[in-house]
A and B are shown apart, each in its own frame.
Chain A
């Protein structure tokens, strides 16, 4: 499967230039957005519903036209005015949009048939894709006889059959239940790497985004909040919105004095660069600091720089999540190993590595 020239290495470099979208009723769905996607790269558009991620995907697909001034380039060629049927894209829809009047192979082979590919070649390609997506044996089924996961695979096979320049996926796993979603996410990841195709993936699920994306574009209110690798987004969120949307985050609003956060529950030292960032924009004033629940450790309260009282503990299997009150303005979340005995009412001390505290631009709260 891998190393096959026919399967591999298609895709273009994609450029979205100043694309905005205002709908006929005056709704501004997308502010001018500029984005470059390298050949073979998987970029995930992540954001809450209504953030413009699907609109951006549809503009790239050619299903929507950007407002004047916006341009879409495939390998430097301007395709803004090219309708979707001539853009050579592959698309996986949230509802899959499989054709109920065709069986599985006819669905997968439709794009090839449209392009006038001979029947023999079509058959070979369908067989290849059926094997690749693990749906062998279902070729002659009608699509309404398939399970959700099978439909998803057929939709994917159909979208890549004609070797599109860009593969566009609009929340392809959202319609599935949690366990299946996780399994297919892994398969999808392997497939995208195998195909080496340029892919744009839309989701509101941050776990999916981190698992699949070479880069993540976090969107909010029609604009890009941050672009970065999953690690960048997680460990160095650009602002409070990104910090809270991606993963769990404690956002502490506190006074900062000489590199030390002053909290109701004690003091918390910042690392030099974080302190510099805090001083840079905010001088000695109130700042927003982000700490992930997993970077906080529970220690003995005696002599700890920061103390609080356990409000509640919830056991989630692989760990426990405790809410600790009295530390900051609102309870802070702390991940505790599942073997540590801890219960509501306990007095605890908290310890955080200064490098794990990030000072945020708080203006977008």
Chain B
């Protein structure tokens, strides 16, 4: 699988790791049900501490993109490809909103108003 990282990215490293994996899933690098490379492999390839990688992976599990299974390692959740692409877009909307001065709650209110 191919991971892309922005050199100029200023976000915390664990968010960058999560972002790279989210993007890889959205672009079809790994399909739902596929096994992700072990955290140790990822940490060595990305040049990032294992704990940082694990923190990124846990964040993705909480988002419902990844599943942690005992004995089977980390797998991509069913429907994660669409979900992760959508989440990416939501993040962009939130970033745009923040630039215009709207907070998260304002955006949620706006979404409620849209029918």
> A and B, one complex?
no
